[in-house]
Amino acid sequence: SGLQEYVEAVSFQHFIRTRSLISMEEINKQLVFTTEDSGKENKTPSSDAHDKESGTWRLRITPVDYLLGVADLTGELMRMCINSVGNGDIDTPFEVSQFLRQVYDGFSFIGNTGPYEVSKKLYTLKQSLAKVENACYALKVRGSEIPKHMLADVFSVKTEMIDQEEGIS
């Protein structure tokens, strides 16, 4: 689960910078470490992830950890969307909505063929997407009616109501 949290954090940072999803290969490139004392005798046991000649250690993110980390990313993006509305930023929710829709479509292709955790996270992803789409709908339809300083209050109440309807607290 620590690797999934790492994927979530790195992909969130990447999304903030580029408005795109970081690939698993890009993450794995970041997880290559070299030791300064590569010429000295190493007393640690041999490992597939360790190259003794070069003093290089590699940590690999598996496809399952990558998928589950990306699924967790969607919750952070949903919170970012709602917070951006409160800050008066009405462009970010629409960018996040489009991105989450693409991620959801990708996960839908996996469906029930993946690990059990993926199907569980798909349900949460769908809820996050619904909250973001509701925020975008409200902005588009009612945005001109609600003063910008009150938008955050409107969305926090609406999110609480959705959570209560679905039995989430």
% of the chain surpassing 90 pLDDT:
41
151: in domain: no
112: in domain: yes
Domain range for 113 is 1-32+57-143
Instruction: List the CATH number of the domain containing 130.
Output: 1.20.58.2140
Residues flagged as binding site: 8, 76
157: in domain: no
**What would the pLDDT profile of 11-70 be if each residue is shown by its tens digit?**
999 999 999 999 999 999 999 998 876 455 444 444 455 555 568 898 899 998 999 999
| Pairwise pLDDT comparison (142 vs 101), residue with the higher score | 101
Residues 121-147 have a mean pLDDT of 82
Query: Phi then psi for 34, rounded to 5 degrees?
Result: -115, 145
73: in domain: yes
49 φψ region: left (φ > 0), alpha (ψ -120 to 50), beta (else): alpha
27: in domain: yes
Grade residue 78 by pLDDT with cuts at 50, 70 and 90: very high
- Detail the DSSP E strand segments found in 17-104: 32-34, 50-51, 56-58
Residues flagged as binding site for Mg(2+): 8, 76
- Total domains, the chain: 1
102: in domain: yes
148: in domain: no
**DSSP secondary structure code for residue 21 in this structure:** P
